[in-house]
Chains A and B, each alone.
Chain A
Amino acid sequence: MWIWYKVLYALIVVIGGLAYGLLLGGISRKITARLQGRRGPSVFQNYIDLIKLIRKRTAISHGVMFFLAPMFRLLGGIGVLLLVPIIANNTALSNFSFGGDLIVVLYFMVFGCLGMALGAADSGHPHSALAPTRGLAQMAGYELPFLLSVIGLAIAHNTVSLSNLVAAQQGGILHWNLFQYPFLSIAGLIAMLGMYMAYPFSVVMAPQEIAVGPPTEYSSTFLSFMFTGRSIFGVGKYVLFMDLFLGGATNLVEAFVKTFVLFLFVVFISNVFPRYRTEQAVRFFWTYPLVIGLIDFIRIFIK
């Protein structure tokens, strides 16, 4: 019986996550527009778009992998969201988070991206490789500081379970990893910017250069799936970072607030900086955040 409850909760989390993710996307567009002095679309524009896409009647397919790619994407998104505990030790909202989950999450995050890249390439679009390769290269960039902070935290707390990490950060704001291990956190948060492919690390999605990126060839239902996957994935990552650095959450409100703060952090940063080229981004990640993170890392190593 237990498993069915879990499935039920999972469905709720996924739908909730989707709704939240779409909302965040809308807010992001709004903020950007406002900063640029435009009115911008409605914050609910993404909901409208999604419904529109689903309702479209025809879709084209270039082949099996093209067909499967959105599935992978969606699966990756859902997987990440479900593997991180939104509220630790809560039957409903701890999701499928379990003992070894940090490493699993790290690897599962790639799953969707891989599917995405494969699908795009299968379209036969000559530029299809551009975005995935940039993305992978940039990933190699930001993953280094990110792994640094994750490993640092795991060693520091002697656990790779996100739930345990969250538990270790309870008992006041100063117990948060953000304050316990500020340098690691800085490295991790900078990596997060890369992970969201926001400015200045947006060369992957760069619409001006690659028409509209991987989704160029996708439309209607396929695109809707991608859209869904991306939104959910985004939320999943916010939750992950919340759990890692901001002490997790004990109730839903706290979760909303913390993820929203993270979201704002990304949005504001991205509206300030110009874009890096891939190699610049990689070099950036391999220097400043890494060096900063190493301070704490070595501290943990010595301890």
Chain B
Amino acid sequence: MAEILQYFMLFLIVLMLALALFAVKTKDLLSAVIASGFISLVASIVYLYLQAPDVAMTEAAIGAGITTLVFVITVRKTKGKEK
């Protein structure tokens, strides 16, 4: 059980890094924003594993929720695409 959890965590970490790279590399700002939101979401799961439920909750609500929302609104308002 514990081992599976560990592998799952490893997977999540790799996922996070991949998402981060994607967020940095992609030309589409909206995708990048969503990707970074996903990072937060994944991070909140990691926090749960690290015995930090409070932080996980906060990260999910604020990091993944509010932040992403603010990003999305901004992207919409600036009609942004990266050159």
Touching in the complex, A and B, CB below 8 A?
A: no
Q: Which residues of A contact B (CB under 8 A)?
A: none
